Amino acid sequence: MINILEEIYYGNWRPDESIKSIDPNYKSINRKISSCMESFKKNLSETEFEQIEELFDLAGQSSAMHTAAAFVHGFRKG
């Protein structure tokens, strides 16, 4: 049996990676994001596209931090 505390300790349990939105717009929005990224890749220089990718990476890190804080907040309130 897997010990959840050990999984958390070793960094193997990442609840934010297993959550999928049930919002009906979720897939559509992600398709639009992918389409925009393909357009950027096609129309921008390599350097400009790398800057866009870096921006998305930073936004993802920020979002992950917010998700972690919300997760902790939920347990404190619960």
pTM: 0.67
The reply to whether 9 falls in a domain is: no
Q: How many structural domains does the chain have?
A: 1
Whether the per-residue pLDDT at 1 is higher than 70: the answer is no
Q: What are the DSSP calls for the chain, one per residue?
A: ---HHHHHHTT---HHHH-----TTHHHHHHHHHHHHHHHHHHS-HHHHHHHHHHHHHHHHHHHHHHHHHHHHHHHH-
Q: Domain of 31?
A: 25-77
pLDDT in tens, 35-75: 999 999 999 999 999 999 999 999 999 998 898 888 888 87
The reply to whether 73 falls in a domain is: yes
The reply to whether 20 falls in a domain is: no
The reply to whether 71 falls in a domain is: yes
